[in-house]
Amino acid sequence: MSFTPRSLEGLGRSALALSGVVALIVLQGCVTTGAGQQSPVSGQTMTSSAAGRDIVTASDETEVRRRARLRLELAGAYFSRGQLTTALDEVKQAIALDGSMSAAYELRGLIYSGMNEPGLTEESYKRAIQLDARNGSVLHNYAWFLCQRQQYAEADALFARAVELPMSVQTSRTLMARGVCQMQAGQLPEAQVSLKRSYEMDPGNPVTAFNLASLFYRTGDLERARFYIRRVNNVPELANAESLWLGLRIERKLGGRASMDELATQLRSRFPNARETTALDLGRFDD
């Protein structure tokens, strides 16, 4: 996936945020389910080995459960294409067939979030957690939802729980989302810890690198900010207007005139209509 901070808006399609621009990163369109829940994509039901249970295969599945799973898979497919009303209809049918699937309520929450229905979104996430308190994916998505509503303490508590469930959602992504949320809350030391842990687990993730660069720029640690933003901007297919602009502002403070000129040229040639290009032309480096 290319690095496009603004395209990551909403914890659904990607559950993560970039500096002031919302972006995580979780996992809309690619719902990950917790232990004992079926994946809308694969249909395989994973159970906890610690609980001494087996992996449920197709031969163990009842006809009703199979039909519910297929409806959920359809809902996930429609959701990934942005067809929210059709996705909602399918997930409602899945729940009507089998109301015990945490993943179905999680997906319903993601859909309602996309429809800007916060009350129904929260109700769905809470029901998903009631059905499976160890569904790390829904904990992650619910946490990001709360973060967007500036309920930072509640969001952080859920992120902390999700981090302890690495089999349910990629731990590096949850740490990235948590770090972004902590940045939004102004908790910069805590955000640094979360984002650095995420980066150590997945150093190739450009969203994490961007956010670390943004954080170090805010705290005045410009050499470290330069290191992380170059990890993004040195790969042309990853760089975008936002990352080039951040890199340019970092170089300006460090006095890197040649690098600054190079980034300005890229910004103007590749993204002539971007607001960052307008800011550059107006000399608004500190806006």
Is the pLDDT at 69 greater than 70? The verdict is: yes
pLDDT for 61 beyond 90: no
Check residue 54 and give its pLDDT. 65
Q: Which pTM value belongs to this model?
A: 0.80
Total domains present in the chain: 1
Instruction: Give 198-246 pLDDT, tens digit per residue.
Output: 999 999 999 999 999 999 999 999 999 999 999 999 999 999 999 999 9
Q: Is residue 231 assigned to a domain?
A: no
Domain CATH code at residue 15? 1.25.40.10
Task: Round the CA-based radius of gyration of the chain to a whole number and report it.
Answer: 21
pLDDT tens digits for 126-163? Answer: 999 999 999 999 999 999 999 999 999 999 999 999 99
Q: How much is the pLDDT for 258? A: 97
Q: Is 233 inside any structural domain?
A: no
Q: Is residue 207 part of a domain?
A: no
**Can you tell me the distance from the alpha carbon of 158 to that of 139, in angstroms, rounded to the nearest whole number?**
6
How much is the pLDDT for 142?
Answer: 97
pLDDT of 165: 86
Q: Does residue 208 lie in a domain region?
A: no
pLDDT tier, 166 (very low <50, low <70, confident <90, very high otherwise): low
Q: What are phi and psi of 186, to 5 degrees?
A: 80, 15
21 DSSP β-pair partners:
18
> 49 pLDDT exceeds 70?
no
Of 131, 159, 166, 170, the closest CA to residue 38 belongs to 131
pLDDT at 260: 97
Q: Which domain holds residue 115?
A: 5-202
In a domain, 277, yes or no: no
Distance (Å, whole) CA 138 – CA 178: 14
Give me the mean pLDDT over the 100-125 stretch: 97
Give me the pLDDT at residue 38, please: 37
Residue 147 maps to a domain: yes
Q: Is the predicted pLDDT of residue 272 greater than 70, yes or no?
A: yes
**209 in a domain, yes or no?**
no
Share the mean pLDDT of the chain.
84
In a domain, 264, yes or no: no
Higher-scoring residue by pLDDT: 31, 274: 274
* 1 vs 221, higher pLDDT: 221
pLDDT at 53: 55
